[in-house]
């Protein structure tokens, strides 16, 4: 919430002046996606305003005006989440499902890549110009939405969480203190 307050102060806004809340729903870090969605839902409920969620890859694609692009988001261990998009009139459409690839493979992309600032890409990767940031791109997407839908705030994961509950019991007996 401190980050939200800082963003609002920088924009000269008060929470009460918000007309809607928008968030990315992944793919991204498991915890980051959960925190973003919970914060968006909490703000929207507390303020009684509409909310909507978008793929983080769609938010990247919305940063550029090229006819087709490959949106990329950081993943773990030298990988990135990617998805190709095309502009069709005033809409941005996914050409394929999102997937995980090695960051080094972006060098061979036939489409220009749009990625967050700070994501280190191989030298020579074809890049799409991205004159706006992801927050502004999300606002542009939301402005085109006729009916913001809180049902869109569902996580989009391409990988299992980093820690998972065991699927079988351990070989030792349970503690008598456990209840």
Residue 162 in this model has a pLDDT that exceeds 70: no
Using only C-alpha atoms, the chain has a radius of gyration, in whole angstroms, of: 19
CB atoms within 10 A of CB 4: 15
Summarize pLDDT for 40-78 with one digit per residue, the tens. Answer: 999 999 999 999 999 999 999 999 999 999 999 999 889
Residue 86 in this model has a pLDDT that exceeds 90: yes
What distance in Å separates the CA atoms of residue 110 and residue 88, rounded to the nearest whole number?
19
How does the average pLDDT of the chain come out, rounded?
Answer: 91
What distance in Å separates the CA atoms of residue 132 and residue 159, rounded to the nearest whole number?
28
Predicted pLDDT of residue 2: 86
Q: Which pTM value belongs to this model?
A: 0.85
Average pLDDT on 99-123 reads 96
**Non-local CB neighbours of 50 within 8 Å, separated by 6+ positions:** 19, 20, 21, 44, 148, 150
Domain ranges of the chain: 2-152
145: left (phi over 0), alpha (psi -120 to 50) or beta: beta
Using DSSP, state whether 87 is helix, strand or coil. Answer: strand
Categorize the per-residue pLDDT at 166 as very low, low, confident or very high, splitting at 50, 70 and 90. low
């Amino acid at each position: 919430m401190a980050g939200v307050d800082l963003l609002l102060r920088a924009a000269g806004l008060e929470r009460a002046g918000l007309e809607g809340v928008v968030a990315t729903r992944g793919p991204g870090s498991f915890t980051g996606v959960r925190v973003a969605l919970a914060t968006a839902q909490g703000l929207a409920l507390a303020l009684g305003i509409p909310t909507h969620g978008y793929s983080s890859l769609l938010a990247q694609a919305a940063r550029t005006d090229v006819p087709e692009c490959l949106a990329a988001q950081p993943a773990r261990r030298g990988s990135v989440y990617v998805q190709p998009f095309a502009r069709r009139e005033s809409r941005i459409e996914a050409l394929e499902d999102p997937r995980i690839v090695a960051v080094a493979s972006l060098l061979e992309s036939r489409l220009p890549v749009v990625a967050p600032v700070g994501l280190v890409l191989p030298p020579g990767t074809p890049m799409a110009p991205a004159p706006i940031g992801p927050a502004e791109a999300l606002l542009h997407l939301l402005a085109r939405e006729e009916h913001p839908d809180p049902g869109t705030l569902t996580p989009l994961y391409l990988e299992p969480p980093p820690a998972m509950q065991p699927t079988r019991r351990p070989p030792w007996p349970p503690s008598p203190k456990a209840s």
